[in-house]
A and B are shown apart, each in its own frame.
Chain A
Amino acid sequence: MTSAKQPLLELKNVTTVVNDHTPAAKAILKQLNLKIYAGDFITVLGPNGAGKSTFFNSIAGTLPIKSGQILLQGKNITHLSVEKRAKFISRVFQDPKMGTAPRMTVAENLLLATKRGQIRGLKLRGLKAQLPRLHSLAASMNNGLVDRMQTATENLSGGQRQALSFLMATIQQPELLLLDEHTAALDPKTSAQLMQQTNERILQEKLTCLMITHHLDDALRYGNRLLVLDDGKIVFDVRDQQKQQLTKQKLLEFFGDIE
């Protein structure tokens, strides 16, 4: 993990403006620079309004950037659409409703996710043939999801639905996984369980991941790198050894300073 290596994702002077060309125009990201290397598991902290969601939206392509460049493995993806980027980047949202198709069954949702970023033609979907694989994936979440394979996802609990969203984002290994406070809407127990499974899977599959969180404990406990975003810029960036030595106390002091 030397910096001589080509970064997996590089943001160069990225500036994002909302309500551009109107009197309400406001810069959210300001000349943001960042290099992410393969295998990085990065936790992202920042006060409300720091631009964390905009940061993710810019990487995923949901929000076009005003200036700057986004490079994925050296390739310029700045102007690629969300659905084109989906081939490399997957995302789990805070709201469990956003990541799944409500009227389709758990099995159907999982099957759709196995083909993320692929061309979808007039080939039969082949659900039966994939069912054993989908079953064992669902079983790995240990939350009863496997017993509800034929249930429409709108009838699942929030925890099961979010576990499904996470599975769907990782079933087809992404180059980059974006987790946008994906456990925040869940009760503490379910949240902790999903966080545990998230960590296991990321380490197991050596995924590169950015995770926004408001839990200082989670930010310290998980990942090998920690970023703090404030006012559209990265104001703090530690990794490996330095991150391990970081304490909650020090982080709180730091947050006191930026506010």
Chain B
Amino acid sequence: MSMIVSSIGQGLLWAILGVALFLTFRILNFADMTVEGTFPLGAAAAVAALSHGVSPWLATFLGFAAGAIAGLITGLLYTKGKIPILLAGILVMTACLSINLRIMGGSNISLLGKKTVFSSHFLTSLPKYFDSVFLGLIVIAIVTVLLMIFLQTDLGQAFIVTGDNPFMAQSMGINPDRMIMMGLALSNGMIGLGGALIAQSNGYADVNMGIGIIVIALASIIIGEVVFGELTLNQRLVAVTLGSILYRFVLLIVLQLGFSTNDLNLLSAIILAICLMLPNLSKSLNLDHILRRGAAKNDLS
């Protein structure tokens, strides 16, 4: 039972990354590699601030700000520097490795004995693992609702149309470069926020904690889409969170099967690859039809 609660808590905390990546991967239509650098960057900024006695929520906000700045740099390299987006992301991600070491002054910092967002009186009074469920739920709910409202504003619509048809956006007086930079800053800010929260949940920050992040974030988006199918934009944002929790359950099952945590990145990649292929596979193998026919037979008998 506690394993399930822990998975839900982790799913909720990590959902922020999925929602953040949704902005670039699904709305702007490109894969932003910067996230592999901004996740540990957000963690490093927050943890370094915390160990200097900064208040937990301010430290968490610093994680957001650090991520947003790095995202903005990727945006500048892509729009003004005309560097392909994949490469621009990789460049900033690589640069972040050095920055993170500078910020932390070493390859990891522990938060042992430091005050974090999890050390509030109320959260510590909750049963084990329920603190991350509670905090994760609050944060993801606030982030999702704010995003839903933002996407319904004139600016949010201009952002969406830029991803949909940049050519038409321009002919409607929207500056696509500006929208792309805003999207990258916002998305990576949220990734930094996720990094800050997850580092506090783990109790440490590590320079290598960003490896495989993009796959995990993508997995929550794709699992949400595969499971819930056709949805409105607002529903899709919620589906990402549910996808993130489902992904944690899949990992839990896989670990129960006897795989070690060292296999997690391999397993994550395999899960994502399967989910990405599923829509095409089910079409070519006619899975839908077979499943429906199987169900119909059972109904008859």
Contacts and interface: CB of A to CB of B under 8 A. Distances in A.
Answer yes or no: do A and B interact: yes
B172 A112 contact: yes
Interface in A193-242: none
Interface string A117-128: 110111111000
Nearest to B149: A124
Interface string B92-125: 0000000000000000000000000000000000
A90 B171 contact: yes
A118 B164 contact: no
Interface in A96-127: 98-104, 108, 111-113, 115-118, 120-125
Q: Which of A83, A98, A117, A120 has the most CB of B within 10 A?
A: A120
Given A81-B175, A83-B174, A124 B152 contact: yes
A34 to B, nearest CB: 22
B173 A118 contact: yes
Contact of A120 (B155, B164, B170, B171): B155
A9 to B, nearest CB: 17
B259 interface: no
Contacts of B265: none
Q: Which of A86, A91, A112 has the most CB of B within 10 A?
A: A112
B175 A115 contact: no
Nearest to A165: B168
Contacts of A184: none
A82 interface: yes
Contact of A98 (B157, B161, B168): B168
B171 A104 contact: no
Interface string A68-84: 00000000000001111
Interface in B109-161: 149-150, 152-158, 160-161
Interface residues of B, number: 22
Given A102-B164, A104-B160, A112-B157, A122 B171 contact: no
A83 B176 CA distance: 9
B108 to A, nearest CB: 39
B261 interface: no
B208 interface: no
A125 B150 CA distance: 10
Interface string B182-193: 000000000000
Contacts of A60: 171
A101 B161 contact: yes
A99 B175 contact: no
A148 interface: no
Contacts of B174: 83, 120
B167 interface: yes
Contact of B164 (A82, A104, A111): A104
A243 interface: no
Interface string B222-266: 000000000000000000000000000000000000000000000
B55 interface: no
B170 A82 contact: yes
A125 B168 contact: no
B282 interface: no
B167 A121 contact: no
A30 interface: no
B165 A98 contact: yes
Contact of B153 (A91, A108, A121): A121
Given A82-B170, A98-B165, A101-B161, A125 B175 contact: no
Contacts of A125: 152-154, 156-157
29 contacts: A81-B175, A83-B173, A86-B170, A86-B171, A90-B171, A98-B167, A99-B171, A100-B165, A101-B168, A102-B165, A103-B164, A104-B160, A104-B164, A112-B157, A112-B158, A115-B172, A115-B173, A116-B173, A117-B172, A117-B173, A120-B155, A120-B174, A121-B153, A121-B155, A122-B153, A122-B154, A122-B155, A124-B153, A125-B152
Interface of B: 149-150, 152-158, 160-161, 164-165, 167-175
Interface of A: 60, 81-84, 86-87, 90-91, 98-104, 108, 111-113, 115-118, 120-125, 168
| Pairs A-B, 10 closest by C-beta atoms | A86-B173, A117-B173, A101-B164, A120-B154, A120-B158, A101-B165, A101-B161, A82-B170, A83-B175, A122-B153
Given A101-B165, A125-B154, 18 more contacts: A82-B170, A83-B174, A86-B170, A86-B171, A99-B168, A99-B171, A101-B168, A102-B164, A102-B165, A104-B161, A112-B158, A112-B161, A120-B157, A121-B153, A122-B150, A122-B154, A124-B153, A125-B153
